[in-house]
Structure 1
Amino acid sequence: MKIAIIGSGGREHALSWKLGKSLGEAAVYTLPGNGGIPNSHPMDIDDFEAIQAFCEANEITYIFVGPEVPLANGIVDYFNKTNIKALGPCKAAAKLEGSKIFSKQFMEKYGVATADFHSFSAVSDAEEIVHELDGDLVLKYDGLAAGKGVFVCNNIEEALDGLDELRDQYGEECPFLIEDKIEGDEISLIGFTDGENIQLLLPAQDHKQLNDGDTGPNTGGMGVMCPVPFWNAALAEAIDTKIVQPTLKGIQAEKMEYKGVIYFGIMIGEDGPELLEYNVRFGDPETEVLLPSLKTDLGEVVKACLNGSLGDLKLEFETGFFVDVVQVSGGYPKAYEKGHTIHGLSKVADALVFHAGTALKKGKIVSNGGRVLNVVAQGKTLDAAIKKAYEECAKISFKDNFYRKDIGQRVYKVVK
């Protein structure tokens, strides 16, 4: 079995590492990859014909798609017409992430617990609802926006500013929705599906904001932990009943061809768990803790999803906790410099390092993105994993590097 991973970030490095453990490093290719991922090859990930030609030339028979854009553009549909099997949802199913309005309508139709919402096609049409809700709401652009199309608002002024920003980015006539804001504690629950079953990985919690104390601008993710310390059987049952099973029922009723990864972004509020969003692929940085925590052979999971036998596979997990601290370039998520030499990677002894934004220049690893490195540690307790992650993080340096100092130490609003 040879497999090509599509993508270039920390998620793809974690996938390469995990698949390499079972298939051997030489059987795992990453397109285009980055400076730290072995067997990386330059590639335009939207050029499906070029990907096919590369796979055929290297006798690659499986593809694991990392990012959302190729899925939304129909990469799975394309490869379904070839002898190469691509893991992921078809283009129609990828709308669960690619269109926020479609996604919310799907949730409503199939009884998935979620916040009430209103959809719009013009920015000015929403001002009345903004005042009715006193601005205490969430604005979401309908399409893919690389995490930048969501505005969580606390008052009318912030909501009107959010509408102005939508107008500036996408024009007066753009599709978007407004939904009631749920106060609570957010978790990421990610699993595999073969269209008939959903098998979940451990519950994880991302830290989106740049600075300690969940302050500052939103980012792609500054760190993550799994499992969450408050996870219990009652919460698992509530999420399965209110969110996971209705979703699976909807996928089947809509006759979606969905063999891949499904991500549930869940808020646990006073009324229990409610779904914020679907993603149709692994989250980043969640992947960087979820795959080290998975004991089961990932290659076998991929094959089970594609051949419809996922229900016969029992996922097994490592014990303890996993913490990922993300090191970013100074200035991120706004303007930042690239090309700074990264020091100390060889000194890291008791953690995994997954490269996100790096390049290999003249034999040296240099920074090449906003999120640069993921330092992942395991511990018997959450505190032990946190301590180890930060000890290893301190060994790495590059000009103006920055990371949060409180990953895994969140104060919860609702859960006990």
Structure 2
Amino acid sequence: MAQVLILGKGAREHALAQTFIASPQVDQVYVAPGNSGMETKGIQILSDIELDDFAAMLAFAKEKAIDLTFVGSEEPLIGGVVDIFQEAGLKIFGPSQAAAQLEGSKDFAKSIMAAAKVPTAHHRTVTSLPEAQAFLTQASWPLVFKIDGLAAGKGVSIIAEEEQARNYLLEVYRTNPAQKLVIEEFLQGPEFSIFSFVGPDGQIQHVPLAQDHKRRFDGDRGPNTGGMGAYSPLPWLNEKDKNRAIQELVLPVLAEMNKQGMPFTGVLYTGVILTKAGPKVIEFNVRLGDPEAQVVLPQLQSDFYQNICDLLAGRPANFIWQKEAYYLGVVLVSPAYPAKSEEKLPVPYYKDLAPLIVNYATVEKDGEQLVSDGGRILTVVGHEANLQAARDEVYRTILANNTALAYRKDIGHAAL
């Protein structure tokens, strides 16, 4: 029987662990560092291994003779964990450090898109306050400001007028006078996420599409977050637009990465906006999205462990996805989120929320009680034959548990 190691600690990694342990070939899943809500039969957390402790990860994988390591979180990928494991002869699924720049640097991603002639927002990259301020004088509003580098889904600001933008820039460059910042035009249209599993031989397997809800409050208002909820598949997107997005956005970027000597293996996340001129790229990430993973992975009907092993070995991977139901997930957060909060709030156990799927993100144990330990706390996922029924099921269960945690009450609104 196989043993799997997952690198990460959030709800996405919990969903991955649940998907791997469902394989008849897997008898043990380890999650480093994981969180206390994940632990159940067959899933063990390694809370003493931090996300940047590659030496400890490698030592554990060797000691336990881990059969497959799957990188869930972006930080280890951008730090080069895949290169380290591969040099040690261990099986790991994810992009190299060079390829992970697609997420690690928004400026790098823009340069790849330009070379591949992939449609995206017009932009300018600046590296100083005077340069950024000068750009504002010739800008059309609103504008999108993106911190170059990892920002946990919170490095994007949409600003509607110049005075607000100038105050934003003063704050950005006060903390880092040499900050690289991508400033781009604001695109309009519905957004969706394409996830592509890519093997080292170039084999590509796409998964059911999903739509995330980035803004903190109902009606898509408030600051950007790591994601407040998602649903999948998308009833409003036709096959023509889906295929066009894959052909014009995903495949050319993968080809360009290969051309530039940085072939991509792992999960490519293409964030797409469907404008009047056609689909355009909002961003690339190099791993499954969170909370999209929580509504996509439960749709898998084939053996995930076998699928990933086949991809890595260059064998045809037979991913089989359900087509009868809609999956909708709502993220429960600290009331202060996305601002930081030290408040420890009680969190419901899975048994209280069954039969829904629960994926824990930032929780810890206080005696017999689970309590919150961060911003996004857990995702509650329901599935029914139609999207409205799935949404009703999730919100009915959340309300029945009288939680003090906060959440959006309109997840899935664009499809309903």
| Letter in structure 1 aligned against 2:398 | C
CA distance in 1: counterparts of 2:139 and 2:96, whole angstroms = 37
Is 1:387 the equivalent of 2:392? Answer: yes
Deviations 1:128-179 (A, max 9, x none): 32221234321212211222322212222232233223213322x2222211
Aligned position for 1:14: 15
- Within a 5 Å distance, the mapping from 1:234-253 to structure 2 comes to 234-253=240-259
The answer to whether the Cα contact below 8 Å between 1:32 and 1:41 also exists between their aligned partners in 2 is: yes
Shift of 1:371: 1.0
| Letter in structure 1 aligned against 2:140 | D
Aligned position for 2:279: 273
Shift of 1:354: 0.8
The answer to whether the Cα contact below 8 Å between 2:340 and 2:374 also exists between their aligned partners in 1 is: no
Aligned position for 1:5: 6
Larger deviation, residues 337-346 vs 322-331: 337-346
* Structure 1 counterpart of 2:220, from 214, 217, 220: 214
CA distance in 1: counterparts of 2:160 and 2:60, whole angstroms = 50
Is 1:90 the equivalent of 2:96? Answer: yes
Is 1:80 the equivalent of 2:86? Answer: yes
| 3-state secondary structure, aligned to 1:410 | helix
- Within a 5 Å distance, the mapping from 1:3-402 to structure 2 comes to 3-23=4-24, 26-38=27-39, 39-42=44-47, 43-171=49-177, 173-195=178-200, 196-310=202-316, 312-343=317-348, 345-398=350-403, 400-402=404-406
The answer to whether the Cα contact below 8 Å between 1:263 and 1:283 also exists between their aligned partners in 2 is: yes
CA distance in 2: counterparts of 1:411 and 1:52, whole angstroms = 44
CA distance in 1: counterparts of 2:414 and 2:16, whole angstroms = 27
CA distance in 2: counterparts of 1:151 and 1:169, whole angstroms = 16
CA distance in 2: counterparts of 1:233 and 1:161, whole angstroms = 43
Shift of 1:268: 0.9
CA distance in 1: counterparts of 2:164 and 2:244, whole angstroms = 33
- Equivalent pairs: percent with the same residue? 36
CA distance in 1: counterparts of 2:226 and 2:389, whole angstroms = 25
For residues 15 and 243 of structure 1, do their structure 2 counterparts lie closer, same or farther at Cα, with a shift above 3 Å needed?
Answer: same
Shift of 1:105: 0.5
CA distance in 2: counterparts of 1:24 and 1:161, whole angstroms = 55
For residues 343 and 246 of structure 1, do their structure 2 counterparts lie closer, same or farther at Cα, with a shift above 3 Å needed?
Answer: closer
How many pairs are equivalent? 409
CA distance in 2: counterparts of 1:410 and 1:291, whole angstroms = 22
* Structure 2 counterpart of 1:405, from 399, 406, 409: 409
CA distance in 1: counterparts of 2:142 and 2:347, whole angstroms = 43
Deviations 1:54-105 (A, max 9, x none): 1222221211111111111100000011132111100000000001111000
| 3-state secondary structure, aligned to 2:193 | strand
Deviations 1:303-348 (A, max 9, x none): 12312235x5354334211000111122121132443332464232
For residues 98 and 70 of structure 1, do their structure 2 counterparts lie closer, same or farther at Cα, with a shift above 3 Å needed?
Answer: same
| Letter in structure 2 aligned against 1:157 | E
| 3-state secondary structure, aligned to 1:375 | strand
For residues 198 and 130 of structure 1, do their structure 2 counterparts lie closer, same or farther at Cα, with a shift above 3 Å needed?
Answer: farther
Give ranges in structure 1 of 5+ residues lacking alignment.
none
The answer to whether the Cα contact below 8 Å between 1:135 and 1:158 also exists between their aligned partners in 2 is: no
The answer to whether the Cα contact below 8 Å between 1:187 and 1:266 also exists between their aligned partners in 2 is: yes
The answer to whether the Cα contact below 8 Å between 2:157 and 2:223 also exists between their aligned partners in 1 is: no
| Letter in structure 1 aligned against 2:127 | S
CA distance in 1: counterparts of 2:63 and 2:186, whole angstroms = 50
The answer to whether the Cα contact below 8 Å between 1:345 and 1:396 also exists between their aligned partners in 2 is: no
Deviations 1:336-364 (A, max 9, x none): 24433324642323310111111123232
| Letter in structure 2 aligned against 1:27 | Q
| Letter in structure 2 aligned against 1:192 | F
CA distance in 2: counterparts of 1:344 and 1:56, whole angstroms = 33
Deviations 1:160-202 (A, max 9, x none): 233223213322x222221121111111111200141322111
For residues 24 and 354 of structure 1, do their structure 2 counterparts lie closer, same or farther at Cα, with a shift above 3 Å needed?
Answer: farther
| 3-state secondary structure, aligned to 1:258 | coil
Shift of 1:403: 1.2
